[in-house]
Amino acid sequence: MKIIEKWNDKLESQNAADFYNAYLETEKEVYTRILAEKMEALKGTVAELSKNFGMEDWVFAGFMDGINTSLKEPADIENLEEDTLLDLTIDFEKLYYNMINVKAEWLYTLKEWDNILSVDKRAQIKKQHTIDHTAVRDKVGRNDPCPCGSGKKYKKCCGQ
């Protein structure tokens, strides 16, 4: 059984909610450490990195599943083995954006972000997230200028 499959099986088990709630605390501790130590790069085998962060290898695979979209080069988490050598570079701006996107307030409000991204930069990322996730109506109103460029109102031109 592959490491990530063990993680997925645990999430689908009957006591998944209890496990996941405990995992979220572990995840918070790992991110706190990564941010506090400004660990932009994670290098080593899955076994070494999981031991370094105090996790079992399959729990580390779950962590990798979460951070994978915030890496400069995503890892092949489907084929992780204990001896898989990882050389991962974290894109902190993308990580912050993704934490906002999944509404992980317990992570994007960590005080350790102060040493990574300025308050202005974090506000800019939050603003960009809001812009990216705001619905925009493309419908032309009756009294708007016609999109054909005639200079007439839409209702007197193409809207007839």
User: Cβ neighbours of residue 139 under 8 Å, at least 6 residues apart?
Assistant: none
User: Cβ neighbours of residue 32 under 8 Å, at least 6 residues apart?
Assistant: 110, 112
| Cα→Cα distances 64→8, 59, 131, Å | 12, 9, 28
Residues 22-70: pLDDT tens digits?
A: 899 999 999 999 999 999 999 999 999 999 999 999 999 999 999 999 9
Residues 104-151: pLDDT tens digits?
A: 999 999 999 999 999 999 999 999 999 999 988 788 888 989 989 899
* pTM score: 0.83
In contact, 74 and 53? CB cutoff 8 Å: no
- Rounded Cα distance, 153 and 160, in Å: 10
